[in-house]
Amino acid sequence: MQQYPDVEYLNIIFFVFIFWLVNYAFLSFIFYIIYYYFDLIVIYKDQIVMIKCSLLLRDDIEIIDAYRIMKVDGFSRGLMSNIFWYGNLVIEQQKNEVRTFHFVPAPYKILLIIQKQRTALLDDRKKKYIITEEEEKKQ
């Protein structure tokens, strides 16, 4: 049988191409994990602080005033996100601003905390600014 010399070069070219493709996929996956791994959500009494840290970016801090929150939604779609308890958190603010935070751990727990915070703020606001009939009689 006759050996074709072009086949050896073709094998080397395919090997190098596949090697670079696998390395690129692996490195992009690692950077993807690093980029989303350092998201931090801090919930105070009257504000929510979102901090993003990664090896590629400096600290990115966003502060959301709890009075401006109109609606909060959390969802987790897909098999892997449900297994690892990761999902998306959507916060709708006044003036039709919608912020979506991806890869939030346990979005339903954070959703419940934000809803409790929101109801406590609204009750506190009612106590401060709404005068009841009994208070009017006292004055």
Inside any domain, residue 135: no
> Strands, E, within 1-139: which ranges?
39-43, 47-52, 60-65, 69-75, 86-93, 97-105
**What is the pLDDT, as a whole number, of residue 24?**
95
Domain annotation covers residue 30: yes
Span 31-67, pLDDT tens digits? 777 665 566 788 888 888 887 776 666 667 888 888 8
pLDDT < 70 regions, the chain: 1-5, 34-39, 54-59, 130-139
Does residue 19 form part of some domain? yes
Q: What's the pLDDT score for residue 56?
A: 62
Chain mean position to CA 107: 9
Rounded-to-integer distance, Cα 116 and Cα 65, Å: 15
> pTM of the entire structure?
0.59
Q: How many domains does the chain have?
A: 1
Which one, of 99, 107, 114, lies nearest residue 81 by Cα? 107
The answer as to whether 29 is a domain residue is yes
Res 38: pLDDT? 62
pLDDT value at residue 138: 67
Q: Which domain holds residue 24?
A: 1-36
Is 85 within the bounds of a domain? no
Please enumerate in sequence order all residues whose Cβ is within 8 A of that of 105, keeping only pairs 6 or more positions apart, or say none: 85, 86
